[in-house]
Amino acid sequence: MRLHRLALSPATGPIGLLVATSPAGAGGRLLTADLTGAAEVPGPGDPDGRGTAFVTVNPGQGEICFDLNVSGIAPATAAHIHEAPAGQAGPVVVTLTAPTSGSSSDCVAVGRAQAKDILKNSSDYYVNVHNAEFPGGALRGQL
């Protein structure tokens, strides 16, 4: 997610208002996830790690755009969206660019039916970040 600073006149509002925009640009719906090692299933994940995922799902465009930000973990080697409710592990349904230096941002193609299902049942999907120390998953967060 990008933050843009807007300078507004006194008639229209305060100066310095921050406006968030998703990497998808126009269209789509934003989903977010707080990433922690404690949420990893089966655990353990990295107890020191934290992160956020901003995921914009756009079925009409057949794409998912994302911003991943992680800290407190060894360099990430992979990142995905998996399908499973909290407390369960599930298969990879979308491959994301790993935040190897702590952050990554990109858009990836996804089938329209898959995108619609992620929006309809977002709590049944999660973002997972992997690294060499925790190859099964260092951080996880439900969308």
Domains, the chain, in order of start with CATH, read 23-142 (2.60.40)
Torsion angle of the four alpha carbons 18, 120, 99, 38, in this order, in degrees rounded to the nearest 10: 100
Which tokens is 70 given? 């992680």
Instruction: Give the number of other CB atoms < 10 A from CB of residue 79.
Output: 28
Based on DSSP, count helices (H) and strands (E) in the chain, helices before strands. 1, 10
Distance CA 117, CA 141 (A): 18
pLDDT tens for the chain, residues 1 to 143: 444 333 333 444 443 333 344 444 457 999 999 999 999 999 899 999 999 999 999 999 999 999 999 999 999 999 999 999 999 999 999 999 999 999 999 999 999 999 999 999 999 999 999 999 999 999 999 99
Which tokens is 59 given? 């079925």
pTM: 0.82
